[in-house]
Amino acid sequence: MGRQFHFSLITFAVNFYLLMKKYNFYSGPSILPKEVFEQSSKAVLELDNIGLSLIEISHRSKEFMDILEEAKSLVKELLGIGDEYQVLFLQGGASMQFCMIPFNLLGEGETAAYLETGVWSKKAIKEAKMFGNVDIVASSADKNFSHIPKQYTIPSTAKYFHITTNNTIYGSQLQKMPESPVPMIGDMSSDIFSRRFDASKFDMIYAGAQKNMGPSGVTLVVLKESLLGKVKRQIPTMLDYNTHIKNGSLFNTPCTFAIYVSMLTMRWLKSKGGVAAIEKINEEKAQKLYAEIDRNSLFEGVVAKEDRSRMNITWVAKKPESEEAFAKFAKDNGCIGIKGHRSAGGFRASLYNAMPVEGVNKLIEVMQEFEKKNG
């Protein structure tokens, strides 16, 4: 009788969990794999049976140095790059890179080329103008960033060419990386490790961790050392890439917790078959949701179909007055964070690597149910 009651209680708990499960569609800080949450929560209490918490060990201890080295190695393995690239874990988010890049690479009177495809590229351009000239080779601002420009020329005299590979706010994505006659730099904050690409085309890649790699607080920077040392200006120590290369990302106390969780997330991705395997899953998730957006009589997409992001799916209600009702309906039914960015409106579902297919299926069910009630 006792055992039967115990199993009945477990069954009830499991069913209740499934009924009440919530899916996180926020653009960031975003969803992480369940295994990573479990492992990192244990490490906060005690790291690998050493008698100390992860968040109290020295960043120069052997335990953390092992974590840091594994994280660097996993970055190179997942991106398919060699020792010609340096891997750094910095602070300040991708926004800090907007100024660090021109500070280190763009001399006075020199020109950098930028592709303007959204809010974050606009912010990067604004910072670069403080240090030199900026050539905006193409922009989709005139159509509210609803597509990726295709026809443009990158000047061979530019010091570098900067692109944002995925536009988190507007939901567009470069489906094919461009060819560049000058060093190319990619802001990959919202699609790093989500799809295969030829990383050797880039001289620098950077990404805030809080989309596909880990929690907020650390920024990944991958760069060729040959880019550096060409500007004549003095660079503040903390903003000089050479400082962090020479000190192995340990010039100041790094965000040890965020680096550890990022390492666990990259371990998880490797165990799932790496970038090639997760790309297939990401394609499936995105195709399912876009198919429903295109089918549903209440909604419509906002980005040119050939430029639709697999990471950040955006759409609007055909009747704008129903947007608040749908946002509430989705939240009440376990789909959290689908409201669009304040500058874009509408809806946005972020389908980062850790989002399971079940979460997408749930959102589709919610959209279909809303259509039945309001169509």
Which has the closest alpha carbon to 263: 40, 29, 26, 79? Answer: 40
Measured in whole angstroms, the distance separating CA 363 from the mean position of its chain's CA atoms is: 21
d(CA 128, CA 134): 7
**Shortest CA distance to 165 belongs to which of 97, 229, 117, 98?**
117
User: CA-to-CA distance for 132 and 293, rounded, in angstroms?
Assistant: 43
H-assigned helices in the chain: 2-20, 34-45, 62-79, 93-105, 119-128, 241-246, 256-271, 274-295, 323-332, 357-374
- Token pair in block for residue 299: 């909604």
Q: What's the CA gap between 218 and 96, in Å, rounded?
A: 11
What residues are paired with 88 via a beta bridge?
221
Has 120 been annotated as catalytic? yes
DSSP code at position 148: -
Amino acid letter for position 206: Y
Torsion 78-57-206-187 (CA) sign: positive
CB atoms within 10 A of CB 179: 9
Q: Which of 187, 191, 240, 307 is catalytic?
A: 187
- Report the SS3 class of residue 321: helix
Distance of CA 19 to the CA centre of its chain: 29
Residue in 120, 159, 285, 315 annotated catalytic: 120
315 noted as active-site residue: no
Per the residue annotation, which of 72, 211, 285, 362 is the catalytic one?
211
> Which residue type sits at 181?
P
Bridge-based pairing of strands 204-208 and 184-187 is parallel
At 190, is the secondary structure helix, strand, or coil? coil
Q: Is 294 a catalytic residue?
A: no
Which among 268, 15, 234, 273 has a CA at the least distance from the CA of 131?
234
Task: Give catalytic residue positions.
Answer: 120, 187, 211
